[in-house]
Amino acid sequence: MPRGQAAYPCAEACDDDRMQRTRGKAKRTTHPAARSLADDLRQRTDAQLAALLLARPDLARPAPADLVALAARATTRTSVQRALERLDRGQLQAVEALLVASEPQPSGAAAVADVEALLGADPAAALDGLWEVGLLWWSPAGPHPVRAVADVLGPHPGGLGIRAAEVAPEYAASSPPSPADLPGVVADAPPAARAILDSLTWGPPIGTVPPSGPAHDGAAWLVQRGLCAPSGIGHVCLVREVALALRGGRIHRKPLVAAPELDNAAVDPAVVERVAGASARDLLDHLDQLGDLWTANPPRVLRSGALGVRDLAALARDVDLEPPHAAWLAELALAASLIVDDGELIPAFTPTPEFDVWRSRSAGARWASVAQAWWESPRAAYLVGTQGAGGATVGALGQQVRWPAVRGVRADVLRELAALPAGSAPTPESVTERVTWRRPLADRRTLTEATVAVLREADWLGATALGALSGLGRGLAVGASSAHLAESADGTLPPSVDHVLLQADLTAIAPGPLDGALGRFMRLVSDVESRGGATVLRLSAESVRRALDSGWTADEVLDTLRVSSRTPVPQPLDYLVRDVARLHGQTRVGGATAYIRSDDEAVLATLLTDRALSRALLRRIAPTVLVSQSDPAVLVELLRAGGYSPARETFDGVVVVDRPTPRRARPTQARGIPEPTLPTLTAAAARSLVAALRAAPERPVAGAPPRGPLSGTPQQTSSLLRQAVSDSLSLWIGYADSNGRTARHLVRPVRIEGGRVYAVSGESDAEQLYLLHRITGAAPV
């Protein structure tokens, strides 16, 4: 068989099988034949063009001048790479089969039957999808892939090596054996050669050859018989036609045109909604707590712009959450603009004025705002605590948490769940497998970690519960408006209650969420002990003293508890409040720089002899008065740490109410790093752009570049260039850059001067310079 001829046409490998699959098949979608992608775009309907722009929004920014410019942009390497990254596994396999089937053809197009034979499945749906996103166009000979697709996917589509026609004659000892002779040749192969064939058959097609030994001899045997070809020093490449024959005419081990099935379990939808509502309500309570905590004591901003590890641990401890959950909570607050780096001389993360506005809204509106912030945020909270660039640990609220691709993972996960019936709870493993099928070009490990994290965060948010998508999550997945999400959340979240149940063990049970003044009072006078269907609150001496420090009296605390409880105030609770109040303020602190006075001289004598207070430098100036050089606030904290219960007073003896002024970041000074976002291309904007493209003046449509190298004598090339200048025609030229690489350019020469060609290329009207001696050839369009 002559070298250069395909030894194993993909149709010949399985003709009978293909004929059997063709019989009785559903009718394929027919597409009008076109000369180029630009010609194909002209024949599309307005709806199809709008769908193309929505599927590839980068084509619409900035708006192309006309359909020819749109076609040129759709064939650039960057745009094609973005489009390929959005393909699922089935479409990617179809693209690889299309490339392999079209490369031997002079027209650059492939027969659908050849693609089907290589794929081992009906490619109609996949090819239609590729056509819709502009990665192929239909020529009279069949589907024609955009040229940049081969550049992006590389020289080995489907793990196949070079074709026999591409093997340099000086490196090929003989032609590959015929399909009929190949089994006998393989059977006669020595063990080392057979081992090489087994390792290269399904890719990668290039293997390393040692300088000596059995493997070296086996590789030499394969090269001598045309099964492999040299590929650089110390490497061999399995010839493509041989690999296809060894694979049985298939390009992949198993066609994955259809998405893998999800392993579902049935869950009662009503239970899902109740659990999701409880999770969403807990989220709002945690955000309230975070705002209160960081209002009273804002954490410092590290020089890296992140939150300190100790501050994150303190937040986790105060809100009773695991550190990853607390990191996600802080990131969510930042995404929703509830907290920000205040940009002061000593920067800190403080609540914003928006936090107070958000707090005043209904529970549904509050959840809708934070849910949309999570959905649109380019920050991946699950990265907190991992090793970032340079080996440094990623800190919460820092720049290293940014990973814009996580938005696409959220959309993929929730939309997969939204496609299932209500109450379907797929396993995380099957969801991960489905998402990796949707994004085959993404790093599998990174995508798996992101998918698991999104499922976990969706559960914390209330978008999922018990593994199933809730009504709230379904609204997010379908892009519901804020008003619709708020209305849905108001109907899902448990309604707030206006009472508690006081218990004799110094606990209070809130049978539902507490909002408004009662919620703020109970957070002040008690601490959360456990959450669930009902919240258990613990009243202690410390929590009661916190209320007294805020200006409440014992009678006011007891009266408010009595009014708010459906049960009587237990006697132990009454004793606790009054005992704490009786001790509270027995010792009063003022500034002399600071003084301590007490009617009980024994108490002052105890303070003077307490070694724990030696740092205060106390000195008695009267039987009932001590003075100190410490600041009054510091002295109060020292006494409390020593087990005393002082109360601070002003110069005229009035008790100071320890109620700190809420600290808020000023919007004009806040230096939180803005999240760069692009406006979403809407369907209306796409239709408007299509109308503008239709109205643009027509210009000649360039055909596909000729296959093979552009060559010719310098005289022929110069003649073509001068004719193009005089007739204002476009040409394909081959041009060698300074590194010796040759590329093709579609240009319209304007003038030739001094060995230089000035031409217009692409969408721009600006002239570009081409050196005449670097033009390797030219061909008319």
The residue-averaged pLDDT of 256-282 equals: 90
Would 588 be classed as within a structural domain? no
Residue 678 has pLDDT above 60, yes or no: no
User: Does a structural domain hold residue 648?
Assistant: no
Q: Are residues 506 and 469 in the same domain?
A: no
pLDDT above 70: percentage of residues in the chain: 89
Q: pLDDT per residue over 145-202, tens digit each? A: 988 888 888 888 988 988 888 887 766 656 777 777 888 888 888 999 999 999 999 8
Same domain, 199 and 131: no
- 48 and 150 in a common domain: yes
Of the candidates 386, 382, 377, the residue with the CA atom closest to the CA atom of residue 455: 382
- Regarding whether 603 and 577 lie in a shared domain, the answer is no
Considering the domain architecture, whether residues 441 and 512 belong to the same structural domain is answered as no
Tell which residue, 264, 262, 266, has the closest CA to residue 433.
Answer: 262
* Mean pLDDT on 321-344: 93
Q: What is the dihedral of CA 457, 461, 467, 471, to 10 degrees?
A: -140
268 in any annotated domain: yes
Domain count, the chain: 6
Residues 46, 82 within the same domain: yes
Give the tens place of pLDDT for each residue, 492-549: 888 888 888 998 888 988 888 887 778 888 888 888 888 777 888 888 988 888 888 8
Instruction: Using the predicted structure, report yes or no on whether residue 431 has a pLDDT greater than 90.
Output: yes
Cα(779)–Cα(716) distance, integer angstroms? 10
Distances 650 to 588, 604, 631, 663 between C-alpha atoms, Å: 9, 20, 13, 23
pLDDT in tens, 629-660: 888 888 888 888 888 888 888 777 777 776 66
The verdict on 178 and 83 lying in the same domain is no
Assigned domain for 275 exists: yes
What is the structure's pLDDT at 460? 95
Choose between 458 and 600: higher pLDDT.
458
Q: What is the mean pLDDT of residues 664-678?
A: 53
Q: Is the pLDDT of residue 14 over 50?
A: no
Q: Which of 413, 371, 442 lies closest to 86, judged by CA?
A: 442
Asked if residue 96 and residue 234 are part of one domain, the reply reads no
**Residue 117 in domain:** yes
CA 279 to the chain's CA centroid? 23
22 and 113 part of one domain: yes
Which are the contacts of 605, defined by CB distance < 8 A and separation ≥ 6? none
Q: Is 340 a domain residue?
A: yes
- Within-domain flag for 527: yes
| One domain, residues 201 and 234 | yes
Looking up residue 749, the CATH number of its domain turns out to be 2.30.30.100
**Gyration radius from the chain CA atoms:** 37
**Residue 600 is part of which domain span?**
594-641
pLDDT band with cut points at 50, 70 and 90 for residue 110: confident
Window from 473-482, 673-682, 732-741 with minimum mean pLDDT: 673-682
Of 471, 492, 513, the residue at which a domain comes to its end is 492
Q: Which residues of 413-437 are buried (b: 16+ CB within 10 A; e: fewer)?
A: bbebbeeeebbbbbeeeebbbbbbb
Peptide bond into 191 cis (omega under 30): no
| Confidence at residue 659, expressed as pLDDT on a 0 to 100 scale | 66
pLDDT value at 238 more than 80: yes
Please say which residue of 533, 557, 583 terminates a domain.
583
Which pLDDT score is estimated for 192?
92
With respect to residue 646, please indicate whether it lies within any of the assigned structural domains.
no
At residue 261, the 3 state secondary structure works out as coil
The confidence score (pLDDT) of residue 28 equals 56
Same domain for 377 and 354: yes
Candidate ranges 159-163, 366-370, 668-672; pick with highest mean pLDDT: 366-370
pLDDT value for 173: 59
The answer to whether residue 327 scores a pLDDT higher than 60 is: yes
Where on the phi/psi map is residue 738: left (φ > 0), alpha (ψ -120 to 50), or beta?
Answer: alpha
pLDDT above 90 as % of the chain: 31
Q: How confident is the model at residue 24 (pLDDT cuts 50, 70, 90)?
A: very low
Q: For residue 72, is pLDDT > 60?
A: yes
Are residue 319 and residue 364 in the same domain, yes or no? yes
Handedness of CA 152, 157, 160, 166 (dihedral sign): negative
Sign of CA dihedral 413, 414, 417, 418: negative
**Final residue before a domain boundary, out of 458, 492, 526:** 492
Between residues 486 and 590, the one the model is more confident about: 486
